[in-house]
Structure 1
Amino acid sequence: MSDTLGKWKQSLLLQQNPITAKFIPETTKYSLENLLDFISRYDFVYVKYNSAGQGRAMYKVYKRKDEHYCFNGFTMQGEPINKCVAAIEDFHQLLHPFEKFGKLSGTYIIQEGIQSWIQNGQPFSIRVHVQNLKGEWVIGGMFGKIGISATIDHGIANTHRGALVLSLDELLMLHSEMEDSKKKEVVDCLKEVSITVAEVISSYFPCREYGLDFGLNRTGRPVLFEVNTTPGIGGFARIENKTIWKRIVEIRKLQNETDS
């Protein structure tokens, strides 16, 4: 087994579970035919490299009213790119530059675009850290990531691409000035879904912890973007006097004691 779990395999596993299937965007393997199908049905889509992380090789793609295709995001090297072209084949060429020599550049997936933005248009996501302690999955903590104004066009809220970290409470207030009862409903749903996702993923790819990235759609319903199998916890150290970070570290210590 490889030491990473690709985005396509994640999607297949989560689609098979009736609970987690309700909380993931429509996803398919990349091909030009599939891309054109998704673009015809959604305002925008994301094309992501199967095994890249940190916002690399990820593009927001949509069709403009003048029939041009626009793609905005980051290359495999993490370089920003923002172009509109008359032929979608030009975008395909970016993904697979050596196809004419009979070589494809790995697997990409296409995901339905989810409008996870606060009221001024800045994109955001929610990181949920899930840990296994003595055979039970527990929520280590959560925080929000909000894109800076420069990220509005591509909608990628990733701390490696300039996103800012804030507490979940602050984020939910910014999202739609949620009432306390609605905030509790969203947080409870995030916790419940995250535990189920961890159970599903660990049945195929066992880890001691996972980092789950969610968006919220316009109604406040969580949508799972991705599962990270080697999650960092640096973001937690930036909020709430490191309280959540300390909890995650404490659980890691207890995991080590249990293992030994």
Structure 2
Amino acid sequence: LRCNLVSIDKDNTLVSFNGQGLSAENMAEAAKACDEFWQGIEFMHLSMYRNLLILDKDRRILDNCVISPPHESMGKNVDLLLGELKQQSLLLKHFIECTAKRLERFNHDDIRYMLYPWGPSERKTLPGFQALHGLKGAAICEAEIVRGIAKGLHLTAPKIAGATADIDTDIAAKATATLNMLKEHDFVLTHFNGADEAAHRYDYQSKAEFISAIDEEFLEKIINNIQEPLRIVICGDHVTSSINGKHNKNAVPVVAAQINTAAIPVKINNYQDILTFLMRASDMRG
């Protein structure tokens, strides 16, 4: 399961899904306080408020248990949100309650911290990207879930100094890394997580500024520093509202472009069009 460090108020209302009020150092300390050998559970700290729980049982229980994602549940009572999970799994109930006690030293001003498990999944073996598409691929990303998918697909995924998976990520460094990967790879995915994080914090201004910075510091650098034919698709995996901080099912804008080529412009109407545009065999590198 994914496992967020969250904050709640004196009424057990979920106040934040991302350890709001704690510094990065505090969150690392909080994770360390919860990191021990738990019988039946492996706790794995990723970064900031993000952690994983790996269970060696309770799979069938979790299949039938509805757990609301914390970023979709702000303002709701955490006892109600996790009630079914704790009822179905005594193992996770024990973990949640024990770690809450360990986090008490971080509490302040009627704000308390706890670990919130959600998003159950299971280990899968993914097919290799090159085997699927006949193309050599790379991924420039820092968000753990994206790096995990990239590694599962056997994409080259270099670590980038200054990449943070938030709005303070080094956009120029990502542009440089993307250009370097394009020299030897047919396909490069560059992922930016900051707009999503800013929207979850209701920070529409920072979200807008971050997207503008990607235009200026990333796209402009790519376009000005590559001479080969290149296909570019810009899109998001979902919409995140800066008003309520939640993901929603609205349509995601998609921009497709071809540079350094006289190829006929294409229309993108659906996912299959994106796949065809990017992966069709030709002498273009994309």
What TM-score, normalized to structure 1?
0.24
Over alpha carbons, which structure has the higher Rg? Answer: 2
Higher relative contact order structure (alpha carbons within 8 Å, sequence separation ≥ 6): 1
- Relative to the length of structure 2, the TM-score reads 0.22
